[in-house]
């Protein structure tokens, strides 16, 4: 008879997801499309110009998962890039998940990088790097939004590791560099009160354009969503907006209002529309 106590069992090896999706445009023409693994790039038919929706078919990120997205624009291309839904970082019992985003915006081109929220669950471990390389006369609008847990479900996040590097450079020189760290020490009562307060949802928008100061004034005029705290600064070709909220829904409404303002009345990508 088998001695169950004496028998040895190996820990199951968990399957990890890996994916990469990249698109390249020359003017309004799709020049290249690459998809691998769990990452996909969808090209919806829209009348306002090229748009790409990135999708992670694995349904979320956990230990050892890797994900890559990228856009390459040439010949005056103007592209809106977003994600199909909020990305989710789940509990990680081992190492961290990693996300790499790298966009190249060539001469005379413009990129709106507007991913939907990243939701961080309890004990998530996620490292993400977003790099946007701009030609001397190129421009971009970059958005990053983060939500701590599913607020409507009453979830509270107290234990996580999240590192987010956001980097924009023009002609090889950095013009916006933001390393963002959120971990269990920061979420502790003392540190949290000084950094996040009661906020559980946050966002940053960065607009790189020659008329950044005018854009900052316009953004201040629509920074009026109840339940959202925000501030705007415009300087040296950059308009930077910071947002904090206790709930994700008011934050999303404020982002949509700012999106329309900074994009000069253009509607948000369809996957974003309420």
pLDDT tens per residue across span 238-262: 999 999 999 999 999 999 999 999 9
CA 230 remoteness from chain centre: 18
The pTM for the full model equals 0.92
pLDDT at 13: 59
Give the count of domains, the chain: 1
Separation CA 209–CA 215 (nearest Å) = 9
Mean pLDDT of 19-25: 98
Q: Reply yes or no on whether the pLDDT at 12 is more than 80.
A: no
Sign for the CA dihedral angle at 79, 131, 170, 25 comes to: negative
CB 26 within 8 A of CB 74: yes
CB 62 within 8 A of CB 94: no
Mean predicted lDDT score pLDDT of the chain: 91
Is residue 77 one of the residues assigned to a domain?
yes
Listed range (22-26, 187-191, 203-207) with the worst mean pLDDT: 187-191
Separation CA 56–CA 264 (nearest Å) = 30
- Give the confidence band of 219 by pLDDT, cuts at 50, 70, 90: very high
Is residue 163 one of the residues assigned to a domain?
yes
Separation CA 235–CA 224 (nearest Å) = 22
SS3 95: coil
Is residue 17 one of the residues assigned to a domain?
no
pLDDT at 257: 96
Could you tell me which of 230, 250, 209 has the C-alpha nearest to residue 117?
250
- Give the confidence band of 35 by pLDDT, cuts at 50, 70, 90: very high
Is residue 5 one of the residues assigned to a domain?
no
Mean pLDDT of 207-215: 93
Tokens 């354009």 belong to residue: 209
82 C-beta neighbours (distance < 10 Å), count: 22
Mean pLDDT of 173-193: 84
How do residues 124-175 score in pLDDT, each as one tens digit? 999 999 999 999 999 999 999 999 988 777 788 889 999 999 999 999 999 9
Is residue 76 one of the residues assigned to a domain?
yes
Listed range (99-113, 150-164, 171-185, 210-224) with the worst mean pLDDT: 150-164
Instruction: Report CA-CA distances (Å) from 120 to 55, 67, 87, 195, 211.
Output: 18, 16, 9, 17, 34
Mean pLDDT of 27-33: 96
Range of the domain at 113: 33-272
Mean pLDDT of 13-22: 86
Is residue 24 one of the residues assigned to a domain?
no
Listed range (154-158, 193-197, 227-231, 249-253) with the worst mean pLDDT: 193-197
Is residue 253 one of the residues assigned to a domain?
yes
Is residue 23 one of the residues assigned to a domain?
no
């Amino acid at each position: 008879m088998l001695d169950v106590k004496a028998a040895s069992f190996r820990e199951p090896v968990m399957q990890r997801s890996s994916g990469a999706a990249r698109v390249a445009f020359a003017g309004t023409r799709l020049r290249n499309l690459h998809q691998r693994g769990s990452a996909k790039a969808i090209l919806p038919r829209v009348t306002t110009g090229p748009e790409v929706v990135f999708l992670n078919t694995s349904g979320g990120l956990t230990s050892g998962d890797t994900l890559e997205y990228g856009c390459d624009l040439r010949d005056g291309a103007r592209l809106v890039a977003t994600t199909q839904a909020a990305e989710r970082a789940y509990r990680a019992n081992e190492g961290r998940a990693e996300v790499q985003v790298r966009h190249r915006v060539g001469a005379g081109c413009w990129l709106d990088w507007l991913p939907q929220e990243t939701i961080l669950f309890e004990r998530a471990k996620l490292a993400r790097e977003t790099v946007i390389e701009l030609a001397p006369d190129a421009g971009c609008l970059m958005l990053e939004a983060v939500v701590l847990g599913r607020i409507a479900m009453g979830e509270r996040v107290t234990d996580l590791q999240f590192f987010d590097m956001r980097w924009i450079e023009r002609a090889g020189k950095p013009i916006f560099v933001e390393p963002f760290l959120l971990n269990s020490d920061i979420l502790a009562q003392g540190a949290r009160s000084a950094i996040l307060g009661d906020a559980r949802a946050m966002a940053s928008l960065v607009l790189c354009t020659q008329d950044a100061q005018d854009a900052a004034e316009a953004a201040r005029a629509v920074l009026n969503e109840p339940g959202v705290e925000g501030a705007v600064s415009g300087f040296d070709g950059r308009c930077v907006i910071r947002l904090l909220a206790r709930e994700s829904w008011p934050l999303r409404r404020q982002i949509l209002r700012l999106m329309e303002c900074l994009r000069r009345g253009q509607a948000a990508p369809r996957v974003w529309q309420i």
